[in-house]
Amino acid sequence: MIDLLKQLFHFHSWEYTPAIFGNELMERLGIPQQNARRVCKKCGVVQIQDIHCLGFNPPRYVKTWRSL
């Protein structure tokens, strides 16, 4: 029953892969070597996470997901 409701309302079942950073400085600046991504196990939608540093001290980040 729950699976049927998920299909009707198109709930995704995400498989998450974290971002890879080269070193601590790149992580602090929000510059990944490879962006975080997630793939829906059901429909195959692929999304990438964008990270934007707002430049405060300590730094704050805005993270958004976008489809490929």
Dihedral sign, Cα of residue 66, residue 33, residue 31, residue 14: positive
Measured CA to CA, the distance from residue 52 to residue 13 in angstroms comes to 26
Measured CA to CA, the distance from residue 28 to residue 59 in angstroms comes to 7
By C-alpha distance, which of 7, 50, 17 is closest to 32?
Answer: 50
Split at pLDDT 50, 70, 90, the class of 29 is confident
pTM for the whole thing? 0.72
pLDDT digits (tens, 9 = 90+) for 44-61: 999 999 988 787 777 788
**In the prediction, which pLDDT does 64 show?**
92
